[in-house]
Chains A and B, each alone.
Chain A
């Protein structure tokens, strides 16, 4: 084959932009479009546009385009595009143009044209193709021979047959491949006899064995049932290629004649082929085949036996079950037993199930019974439960365990009493445990947890034997029915300490945190060391899950951990506590963890736990949190934790120091209507004694959250609604632009010291008693105001005394925003502010345990 190495990178990015204007899929006007595309080809358009035009002409172009397309055949880059056009146009002139081009082309473009003539099955090209095939110098003899094969008329086939016998080897191989193409063509056209004859010629020719093998497959398939003898002959070939052809072809002509032959042959061939033929029987078999395969399950060769057992699973019926069951029960050959078991699982039908059940009922060997039981389980044979209950009572522990396991997935509610009795009567641990699992499993699967729980409670109350008590407790905890909790808690206080410890241990698996309080009580009291240890462990397990799933308010969870923390005696206890605290995102949890940063054995665990909860805690107590994280970032023993701590710490702003919001000279950091707000004598003054037409606000340019705002105000007025206020967590509203919405610490007779919701809920959220305000406020003079915001917790202090203490319950209310100063409209009044400072929020007051606490971020 020829290689070209074009260097044509002068084509530039313009290619990307020049998707031809004629690009269209639906050619509504093919003639017109064709002419447009011809014009592109004949123009100086970039190569890309010409290439694309050729492709489109192939899709809908008319014969008019043939000359233009043919003119591109000599172009080394556009040859294939041009042929796409010509191959597409269903007009004899296209093929004619291709034939004509062969006289002037050579090399790859010539090969391309010959390939196209073959694909078009151009019978008029046979003569010229024959000439190319006969001319060793043409360089395209192979292409020509294959094209002749594709054309597949008598004339082209004659050329190929002659080449096959007379030409040198390379041509013979191409002629053979051509004949294979031709034979396939004949076969598809409904002439299998002719095809078979052609295949025979190739398989007997002096050509490479791969081609002869391919021809042999063709010869068999074309003859269908009459090809069976030829197929069988190949099975015995010394050449693996031909044996493989036989095996593959079995899948092409399955049917009774072939199946009959294979049933005979499978016994005659050597073991390796016998294995392969057995597998092939899956794809081609008749009614006699299973019997043949049954015989082969006793073959001398182990691989043959295994394969026979496997194949029976796919094509066998109830009649073959016996052979498989025997193999399953034969513990001398475990591999074969495994295959047989898999086969039995695969076979469908109630008859198969009856046979397995019968085998179980009559077998004596325990191993066999275990196997049969597992089969019934995996097949889901529900009518086996009576027999399985009998097996579960068997003295052999393995048999009993297997039967209980099967009953767990097969038994129904009706079998519950029998299963409970099984728990009661089985003495050995594993059999009893399997029975327990069966009781719990059946109750859950059949939706009878409450019923089962009641029955088992009754058993627990009647029994005195410690081992049995433990069994009932285990079942009750597995079922987790709320009604059983008191009984289990009673067991946790059993006079037998073994029973008590076991029950406490089991309570760790309880599905919710209900036993936690009782466990916390046990942890806190002077119980024995083992009770104490186990109760602490169980409490931590429940508390940890409760924290992860937010089953209880944080306060409650923290109190459990605190109890455990106080009672913890060993490092293992503390490790458990730390692990749980790492899932409880609460400042209380953080506080319990911090001291552990000083304990060498627990430092890393504590650091990891803090790092885990820290991101969600950041706004609550930034200073302490940042300090702890910075410490972890430098001292933790694990690189990953140090890096993480550093990363989180970087997100927490440095603690807010009390800062002045007002510089005493200008309104820097504030914005508002300059006609209304000004600085006079080191004081911010808003409004006018001449009259205020509407509400006006002076707001900070920054937003704030979690702070203590301190300021002094003086309100002087003569007429109208003399009022002002201090906004916080607020924003400007778009309409009307002079308004703000958000919280307001109100100022004005009857309202000072109160918390109002401005332009939002439009009501007082909290009001101070009138007599308190009267006592505290100095009207017309300077008064001290303090607004403390910590998350959803808002407090207002007037002249040093608290007037409002409010928890915001609505999580959708923003707890951050602008601070603003108000002078009310419809009054003649002037309001003054001074000494405005902002300090950090008081520690530990941020996260009140109310909804909305989390919204403080």
Chain B
């Protein structure tokens, strides 16, 4: 219970009344479709492995009028049923079909696209198998477990002529777009440093104690493992506890935030077709160096939500990034707030606050592209580079030495061990020979 103060009230009305036009935004056909195709044409979507994150993605996609979500596959019964409930409640019907085996879902000719939000270790392979089955793919990040998986995935999406969107939705969120716009437009002067916040990476290979496998129909452990190397079942893994385990979480959790924040840095530095050439870890960060001289600093944030002075302003929320040029800097994060250096703030006429986080616009961009066949803002090529940068940075930290990377050959220069760590074997019978 809180009485709304007058100032809060005024503050809100002011925000609502001060809509500014932002001509630099990516086509903002966010709410409902426009143009493109006749309204009778719907995109038919299926879901694969939708836990809490996937269910969030779905919840912001469902309101799209040109979308019909018809099927869910999950190896866990409880999750299948939860998603079916969501979809059926939305459409007021009982039509959402549940599958335990995603090949059955992929075999449905009526399904145009799939939303994939399994654990990290399934993303690349499920995306690739979906592409081969003729489906367009929206996959949560990180999109693969190794450099090799990312390469196979990106190549395969091209090979099967599919549309792919990585769930790095911040490219579709206005505050991040605006921060990048400032970097691109020269408002920061010459860009010299791009900061990406990341978790402190970890190396945890240990197995949890074995438990009896759940009965068939409740949770299919063999399918849950899929391409990941075998280990005994433990219920913690399948209820989100896979996080922090190196065999299940990409890059020792470096990519959990890095897939977003490094991606934004790549974008800000207009480096979507390349990568930093050198990587070196320090106590508090991993530093990369681009050919154009810009530094990429991946700052380790000990806590995701707490105080993060002096690296970042606490007020900007999770996943903050900061772009620094010789004439100013901008920082932003998930709460939508933008913080500017004083000298930049003076020059800005549009200072706006928006709420970050929502992936609705990102989904919309994907659906528009499913129809137009244009490349989504986080297509397989953009994703490939951003993810490779993350893996290269994480490997330099793991190996504890400076690494030199060739962005064209996508290999490390003069470091056999690092190159060997670009891949791992896929558990039989799964394979990336697709």
Taking beta carbons and an 8 Å cutoff, which residues of A are in contact with B? 1-13, 15-16, 19, 23, 25-27, 48, 51-52, 55, 58-60, 76-81, 83-84, 86-88, 90, 108-109, 111-113, 115-116, 118-119, 143, 146-147, 149-150, 177, 180-181, 184, 210, 213-214, 216-218, 241, 244-245, 247-252, 272, 275-276, 279-280, 282-283, 303, 306-307, 310, 314, 339, 345-346, 378-380, 541, 544-545, 548-549, 579, 582-583, 608-609, 611-612, 640-641, 644
Contact = CB atoms under 8 A, between A and B. Distances in A.
Nearest to A19: B206
B372 A279 contact: yes
B21 A345 contact: yes
| 4 closest residue pairs by CB, A with B | A112-B428, A9-B210, A247-B373, A115-B431
Contacts of B401: 26
B352 interface: no
Interface centre among A241, A248, A583, A608 (most CB of B within 10 A): A248
Interface string B197-220: 000000101111111110000000
Contact of A143 (B38, B133, B429): B429
A16 B37 contact: no
A307 B36 contact: yes
A8 B210 contact: yes
Contacts of A6: 230, 232
B124 interface: no
B417 interface: yes
Nearest to B203: A25
12 contacts: A13-B209, A115-B431, A146-B431, A244-B161, A275-B36, A275-B37, A283-B374, A283-B375, A345-B23, A346-B23, A582-B3, A644-B1
B239 interface: no
A149 B161 contact: no
A77 B207 CA distance: 13
Contacts of A640: 1
A544 B10 CA distance: 14
Nearest to B135: A210
B134 interface: yes
A9 B212 contact: yes
B222 A248 contact: no
Given A119-B432, A143-B431, A248-B161, A27 B222 contact: no
Contact of A245 (B132, B161, B430): B161
Contacts of A48: 206-207, 231
B16 interface: no
A310 B36 CA distance: 11
B12 interface: no
Given A115-B431, A118-B433, A548 B5 contact: yes
A210 B5 contact: no
A644 B433 CA distance: 64
A3 B222 CA distance: 8
B155 interface: yes
B240 interface: no
A113 B36 CA distance: 47
Contact of A59 (B421, B430, B431): B421
A25 B426 contact: no
Given A26-B400, A214-B160, A303 B375 contact: no
B426 A115 contact: yes
Nearest to A79: B428
B210 A27 contact: no
Interface in B2-61: 3, 5-7, 21, 23, 27, 34-38
A119 B428 CA distance: 13
A762 B44 CA distance: 82
Interface centre among A5, A279, A303, A339 (most CB of B within 10 A): A279
A247 B163 CA distance: 11
A27 B398 CA distance: 12
B347 interface: no
B207 A1 contact: no
A253 to B, nearest CB: 12
B79 to A, nearest CB: 20
A112 B425 contact: yes
B418 to A, nearest CB: 9
